[in-house]
Amino acid sequence: MVASERPSSPPRGFRATISRHSHIPYYVQLKEALREEIERGAWRPGDQLPGEPELCRMFDVSRTVVRQALTELVYEGLIVREKGRGTFVAEPKIGEGLVQKLTGFYQDMADRGLTPISHVLKQGVVPARRKVAALLRIEAGGPVIEIERLRFIQNEPIVLVTTYLPYALCPGLVNADLSRQSLYSLLEREHGLFIARGRRTIEAAPANEYEARLLRIERGAPVIVLESVSYLEDGTPIEYYHALHRADRSRFEVELVRVREQRDMRAALTGDLSGLPPSNDVLIR
């Protein structure tokens, strides 16, 4: 994150206050006051907030109150604290639909009007590790294409992803330029391989030193781990990937549908909802 050069003094039109008569704790009031100023645009992403002594003076509260309020805002992803530099308004998170849609990162970002660029760190044929071989249903040690990419949005690294594909199904992929194109589109266009379904899992983990350096975050900072196995129409596994998304810049969006009966559930899972009766039980986001 690149900090703004704008001063950290209270912004013009600053109107937040603390009520001495409210039953709401001071730190909660301060947190919401700062949130309101950020959301109305008084401070923009990258702007530096006033320091703790200045916030104490502005709101006439103790440093303990200020620290607790700022900590809550950090947990919520609204601000970031940089050691030795200060507190800054965080960049808005990038919404991704990779959990619910069978698309790759490139297409998902392109659909949102963003232009992703990939720095290919590795691209070659390697023997499949036991886990990779099991997921791709090939013999352990068999040849797979390994592709490691650091993916950027607006010159900022967002995700580090390692992808494995059976070499026998797409040998020409070894020499493909994947810096500015979708892997899924390339597989379909150049190799006649159409990805029909997939299974994905998501969890949180701390970044190790290597991952943190590439993603420009602190070691131990949280990352969102997305693992996926994709299949062709005949059920053949074609791809396994392990992706690390920056938790401070990523937000996953999932659409949920409630159905009335078990038979309707089967229709929902296949994606064909045309036969379902009209209902007020459809819930999204």
Q: Give strand ranges (E) for 128-263.
A: 143-153, 156-166, 195-206, 222-232, 237-246, 250-252
Nearest to 183 by CA among 135, 234, 240: 240
Longest dimension (CA), the chain: 72
Q: What's the half-sphere exposure (Cβ side, CA atoms, 13 Å) at 41?
A: 0
Confidence of residue 4 (pLDDT cuts 50, 70, 90): very low
Nearest to 170 by CA among 106, 116, 239: 239
Domain boundaries for CATH 3.40.1410.10 within the chain: 94-252
Nearest to 94 by CA among 151, 26, 39, 145: 151
Confidence of residue 125 (pLDDT cuts 50, 70, 90): very high
DSSP letter string over 64-133?
Answer: HHHHHHHHHHHHTTSEEEETTTEEEEPPPPEEE-TTTSS--HHHHHHHTT--EEEEEEEEEEEEPPHHHH
Dist CA 86 CA 220 (whole Å): 20
Q: Virtual CA dihedral for 195, 201, 206, 207, nearest 10 degrees? A: 0
Q: The domain 94-252: what is its CATH number?
A: 3.40.1410.10
Confidence of residue 278 (pLDDT cuts 50, 70, 90): very low
N residues, the chain: 285
Residue of higher predicted confidence among 29 and 251: 29
Query: Would the pLDDT of 91 be above 80?
Result: no
Query: Would the pLDDT of 185 be above 90?
Result: no
Find the range with the poorest average confidence among 12-21, 77-86, 122-131, 180-189.
12-21
Confidence of residue 279 (pLDDT cuts 50, 70, 90): very low
Domain boundaries for CATH 1.10.10.10 within the chain: 26-89
Dist CA 49 CA 33 (whole Å): 13
Q: The domain 26-89: what is its CATH number?
A: 1.10.10.10
3-state secondary structure 238-256: EEEEEEEEECCCEEECCCC
